[in-house]
Structure 1
Amino acid sequence: MTTRSEPGHGRLDPGLSVIMSERRQLINLAYRLLGSLADAEDVVQETYARWYAMSAPQRQAIETPGAWLTTVASRICLNLLSSARARRETYVGEWIPEPLPEPTEWTGHSDGISADPADRVTLDESINMAFLVVLEAMTPAERVAFILHDVFRYPFADVAEIVGRTPAACRQLAASARRRIRATQTPATPTARRAALVRDFKQAWEAKDIDAIIGLLDPAATAIGDGGGLASTVLRPLEGAEQIARLVIELARRTSDMTLLERTVNGQPGLVAQQDGVTVTVYAFDIAGDRITHIWAIRNPEKLRPWTVGSQY
């Protein structure tokens, strides 16, 4: 199996700096497979632990270390995805993938230490929130086959080695995943227009203008919140522009000390709500034409770690 677009090809120097050159590739892969930065970091740590558990001669015998690391990380992710569904059945409320900021806004770990650039996820269309939510509906094998082949460009022969199926079966898995993606896709709205709609939504929210909010939402819009079990967790998605607008106005009335900031969320225009300088909610949006069709509100403190420095979280 060969690797693509990552340094460190060839025989591996046992030095830490060389093996760590693969870290960003692994973080990017694991986040897309799991939708959780925390889980992705754990996967990468476990992958390196397995590497260094081998003897020096065993490591030196591996012709392409990057490929070995990718294979191991992908298999760990596949196992985690297989068990994640059972874990999420007991999750309080809806589960939404962990939101990511722009690299320039990446604030690092909650202990105040700046995040290593190797821990940052490259922002592109394969990590926007709508895309990740569709991935959540796939089977683990579909998700792994699709991400490895369509996003990271691994041939099906290599994917088969990871998934434990034939190349033909992996081709079918990726095709099924592609159909799921296409079934939910809408014509792309230009970024400037998306940003303008999110800005208008923010201004209407701050003005407590319910009619303006309704006008920005698709009549069949949905809003989903992920509080991770917080007392105010909304257990079911809200449906319909009017119902969503009423909730937004109620939030505006209850949280007069909240500041809304325009920020990039998973590569798309979004909003961040802060209280006393601490990020308490991240809002991601999906837009079709001139209307907002989906709103995802992430309040689970564990998922807001990359957004917060020195907070109580």
Structure 2
Amino acid sequence: MEAIEMSEITRGATATGRMLGPAIARCGWSVWEWLARPLHYRAVHHLHVAAETHDRDRLRTFVAPTVSVVVDSGHGGPSGIRVVQGFEDASIVLEHGFTRTADVLVDERSVNNQAGLIITRAGAPIASVAVDFTGRFITMIWIRLEPAGLRHWNSV
């Protein structure tokens, strides 16, 4: 057998490591998103249930104190957008929006390929809710009223 110098092995490993570095980083991020996805869907479920039952103590466990709720009327223009900041004001908006009525259904679905909610009235979508996270806390809730993109909703 031929003797291989240690420097040749080291050079090959170093070159391979430099080439694989960005690929491993991308793979690591994908793995993190894959692992966090069930946690996010579970948090959105808890958000839905806690807001629907007006349970502020439960909301407080997974919603950040500095949460922002952005409500977009869907009619375009800056006058159709309202922002509510802070837990107390946000919880009032969420409780009002998720209150159960006979013809309104809040369904847990993917919105923009993330955990979210679709609110329907008599089978027609009237709002979509997307949720952003920082760590394990919900930090931003985006509510789009009369979402034009959902007129031709595709069921999976």
Note whether the superposition's TM-score is higher than 0.5: yes
**Does the 8 A contact of 1:210 with 1:246 survive in 2?**
no
Equivalent position of 1:61 in the other structure: none
How far, CA to CA, are the matches of 2:51 and 2:88 in structure 1? 13
**Structure-2-length-normalised TM-score:** 0.66
CA shift in 2, pair 1:250/1:234, >3 Å = farther
Once the two structures are superposed, residues 165-219 of structure 1 have per-residue CA deviations (whole angstroms, 9 ceiling, x without a partner) of xxxxxxxxxxxxxxxxxxxxxx857101111100111111221212222332111
- Alignment of 1:243 onto 2:84: no
TM-score (norm 1): 0.35
Q: What amino acid is aligned across from residue 300 of structure 1 in structure 2?
A: E
CA–CA distance in structure 1, aligned partners of residues 86 and 39 of structure 2: 22
Matched, 1:256 2:136: no
CA 1:308 to 1:234, structure 2 compared with 1: closer, same or farther past 3 Å? farther
Q: Is 2:119 the counterpart of 1:300? A: no
The CA distance in 2 between the partners of 1:308 and 1:267, in whole Å, is 13
Larger Cα-atom Rg: 2
Of the three residues 212, 226, 237, the one matched with 2:58 is 212
Match of 1:291 in 2: 137
Q: Give ranges in structure 1 of 5+ residues lacking alignment.
A: 1-186
Cα shift at 1:234: 6.2
Amino acid at match of 1:256: T
Q: After TM superposition, what 4+ stretches of structure 1 lie above 4 angstroms from structure 2? A: none
Q: CA deviation at 1:224?
A: 0.7
RMSD: 2.6
Matches of 1:275 and 1:228, distance apart in 2? 17
Choose between structure 1 and 2: higher helix proportion. 1
* CA distance, structure 1, for counterparts of residue 154 and residue 126 of structure 2: 9
| Alignment check: 8 A CA contact 2:131 2:142 kept | yes
Whose strand fraction is larger, Structure 1's or Structure 2's?
A: 2
Deviations 1:100-140 (A, max 9, x none): xxxxxxxxxxxxxxxxxxxxxxxxxxxxxxxxxxxxxxxxx
C-alpha distance in 1, partners of 2:71/2:132?
14
Alpha-carbon contact 2:125-2:151 (below 8 Å) kept:
no
SS at match of 1:228: coil
Q: Which residue pairs with 2:72 in the alignment?
A: 226
How high is the sequence identity, in percent, across the aligned residues?
25
